[in-house]
Amino acid sequence: MPRTRIKICGLTREEDIQAVVAAGADAIGFVFYPKSPRYVTPQRAAELMRVVPPFISTVGLFVNASPEEVAAAVRIAPLSLLQLHGDETVEQAAAIGAAAGRQFMKVFRVKPDTRPDELLEYEQANRAASPFFTSLLLDTYVDAYGGAGKGFDWSLVPKDLAPRVVLSGGLSVHNATDAVVDVRPYAVDISSGVEASKGIKDARKIADFVAAVRAGDTILESETHHESAVPR
């Protein structure tokens, strides 16, 4: 059974990147949204990326940026993947992926009245519109766009969509094991839950979060072994 992938978002310092790598996470996110307290310029991201070893993905988070802006950022900071976290339409997201020549995750910001079929439809629309679309990232709807540490009702995530989504919004060491076991997402994404203060990560919290995700993986694995051991 594959382990749950882990992305830590909103990195601004070399030592925090080193903590993410040491903890065994899979991906590092840089926020290119100028209004964010975690904002880094593409030049700063390029500097920070020098301490990222191979096989760790670097993700660029953009909010309502133009295809030209994203393509220019990618020329400076050679990101692995994009995270489109704004109100980009399906067509605009496709144009951004094509202009930057990068796969992208499209964020769906879940509201209390979001219906499970809306999530499936949105995923299908993005998949149909662009070969650069790779997955939905589910976050909680907040006025300020993201990184707010607010969770949503995970039971809204359809079971057949879950293995393809990145789950985020209000995750922490306290709920990460349950998130993995209850939702079974492809990946989890966290920012404020592993911070000492906005934009400054806490190495202990990062390590504890990764351990809590792995505890969820271990529970799922033992359930799978148990199910396959039961004679039918």
Ligand X SMILES: O=C(O)c1ccccc1NCC(=O)[C@H](O)[C@H](O)COP(=O)(O)O
DSSP category for residue 115? -
Q: Closer to ligand X at the Cβ: 104 or 145?
A: 145
Q: Nearest approach, Cβ of 218 to ligand X (angstroms)?
A: 23
Candidates 9, 16, 189, 208; catalytic one? 9
List the one residue out of 165, 161, 176, 180 whose CA is nearest residue 209: 176
Examine the residue annotation and report whether 139 is marked as an active-site residue of this protein.
yes
CA-to-CA dists, residue 162 to 120, 123, 185, 218, angstroms: 10, 11, 5, 18
Alpha carbons 118 and 108: distance in angstroms, whole number: 10
DSSP category for residue 199? T
Examine the residue annotation and report whether 9 is marked as an active-site residue of this protein.
yes
Q: Nearest approach, Cβ of 120 to ligand X (angstroms)?
A: 21
Candidates 16, 139, 189, 208; catalytic one? 139
List the one residue out of 218, 209, 219 whose CA is nearest residue 176: 209
Q: Nearest approach, Cβ of 62 to ligand X (angstroms)?
A: 9
Question: Contact positions toward ligand X, by CB under 6 A?
Answer: 9-10, 31, 33, 36, 38, 61, 63, 85, 139, 145-149, 168-171, 189-193
Q: Who's near 2: CB < 8 A, 6+ residues apart?
A: none
DSSP per-residue letters across 29-96: EEE--TTSTTB--HHHHHHHGGGPPTT-EEEEEESS--HHHHHHHHHHS--SEEEE-S---HHHHHHH
Catalytic positions are: 9, 139
